[in-house]
Amino acid sequence: MPRILTQQQIDQFWRDGCIFPIRVMSEADAAQIRSRLEEFEKKAGGPLKGDLRHKSHLLFSWLGDLVRQEHIVDAIEDLYGPNLLCWTTNFFIKEAHNPAFVSWHQDSTYWGLDKPDVVTAWVALTPSNTSNGAMGFIPGTHTGEQIPHRDTFAKNNLLTRGQEVAVDVDEKQAVTIELRPGEMSLHHVRLVHGSPPNPSDDRRIGFAIRYVPTTVAQIAGDDSATLVRGVDEYHHFAPEPRPTTDMEPSFVALHKQITERNAQILYRGTTVKSYNDPNALPDRAAQ
């Protein structure tokens, strides 16, 4: 018996590679998370940058709570069973009137994970729709193999290497994922997806949480993850602690170490060494 998804949603996930919208909190609660982010940004003097956009659930208690949020994890359990890790998180922030975009890609390309059993919960903290650069996907593309990608390092591309699928994408098939704040979509790691710039007057903010069952392993280097449900009998990832306050110095130090190691996996084969490297745009998301 599924916990939160209907059997129809589960079937649709495996058939199309993506389901939405799934409400996981009220609009007011999503606005509360947005304001906590923006309070921090105000104190920091500007938008969240560089490595702070990645694995942010190790820095802020309210994101540590979000990756463990019951409705979200229930939905992941309906797809991947009861033993679950949060492998990473990434803020996808598109500022108002900004050319930042995400090229068509598969998440699985550079993550170094040994199997395509990875699902992203993309949680909307603002509306995300056709007028502000919502994500779109090509249904069914997750059922094929890994597609070759080319790295473009394009200036406004939010992906680490500006990577894009090296095959033609039939954009007529694309489905736009429209979400209200507090709703999420779930997408499969092999799904071809991307998003255009945000020409609207407000920021578009999504928090992408990447979950794996504990059976998945990292094969491109040492890695860590956060157990969010059940037991980890495999120990493929070093366990990560849960922050109880924000930007606690020992967590900031641990986060730096973890994200540097993580960047080496994602940028392997290039000259880029960290998310804060001048060749990595400060607002890139990790893929």
Retrieve residue 274's tokens. 């960290």
Helix (H) or strand (E) holding 228: strand 224-229
Nearest Cα neighbor of 137 from 21, 283, 23, 19 is 19
CB of 7 to ligand AKG, least distance (A): 25
- Give the three-class secondary structure for 29: helix
If the CB atoms of residues 25 and 124 are measured against ligand AKG, the closer one turns out to be 124
**Residue type for position 201:** D
CB of 143 to ligand AKG, least distance (A): 18
If the CB atoms of residues 20 and 251 are measured against ligand AKG, the closer one turns out to be 20
CB of 102 to ligand AKG, least distance (A): 4
Which long-range contacts (C-beta less than 8 Å, at least 24 apart) are formed by 65-69? 66/33, 66/123, 66/207, 66/209, 67/209, 67/226, 67/228, 68/228, 68/229, 68/242, 69/24, 69/25
CB of 230 to ligand AKG, least distance (A): 24
If the CB atoms of residues 135 and 225 are measured against ligand AKG, the closer one turns out to be 135
If the CB atoms of residues 205 and 228 are measured against ligand AKG, the closer one turns out to be 205
* Interaction site with ligand AKG (CB under 6 A): 92, 102, 107, 120, 122, 135, 193, 195, 206, 208
